[in-house]
Amino acid sequence: MPPCDTGLMQLQEILYSQGFGTRRVCAGLIQQGLVQVYAHDSGDKPSVCKEAAAEFEATGLRFKVQGSDWPFFEKAYVLLNKPAGTECSQKPSTYPSIYTLLPSPLRLRPQKAAVQGVQAVGRLDQDTTGMLLLTDDGKFIHRMSSPRHHVPKVYEVTVKHPLDDSQVQKLLNGVVLDDDPQAVKAAACEAVSPFHLRLTLTEGKYHQVKRMVAAVSNRVEALHRSQIGGLRLPQDLPPGQWRWLSAQDLASIAT
């Protein structure tokens, strides 16, 4: 995680900042003996703390709440391997929300804005799978979403009809979509196999991959995002699972 200078915080404030409920709920969890804290020098031996006002150095702190380990992060940055049949919406219309795949503290982290918890950095269609970033850092969301920063995103595309060199070249040269007179180009494009296209984009328009492929007289049958910036989707992260992003991960995304 990026460094932060949080300093000493009361334990109930630490839990509150991490999304474990209101300050009163967090104080109750502590007073009931449901919170254990790992001292910075104690290795793997957490101890119960029943004092809600007890102060700890928040940076680097680890603790357990009702038996579940949790690290303190001033801002949350996570990676989700999005499964098919899920919507990137807090209020889905047809399919389950991706937010149901996350633990409640991530969904309830307090924010100054009206929304709570981590938010998806961009969206993937309900039938699109793969790499999705979520955070409660508004500046990070803006930086990643801004077309000025040209963060490359790599998609593995299964197409209906066999690919040929002319289709790949058209995608590299630029195709015109129905709502934009300016041609949209792929930053990189290769036919991995006759029905597998690897496409790299640096902007995010509505249904962009599907519309670009349709513009070269083909059709997307399956779509998977495998990489953002220099960070690839880990092969050992199953669909529907998430993990924290490290400082190294965040640095690689920006490269």
Residues annotated as catalytic (active site), given as ranges: 125
User: DSSP assignment of 71-114, as one string?
Assistant: E--SS-EEEEEEPSS-BSSSS-SSS-BGGGGS-HHHHH---SSS
The strand pair at 129-135 and 220-228 is best described as parallel
Q: Which residues pair with 130 in a beta bridge?
A: 82, 225
Q: How far apart are CA 119 and CA 245, in angstroms?
A: 14
Residue the block writes with tokens 């007890």: 54
CA–CA–CA angle 113, 115, 119 (5° rounding): 110
Return the residue matching tokens 């953002």. Answer: 228
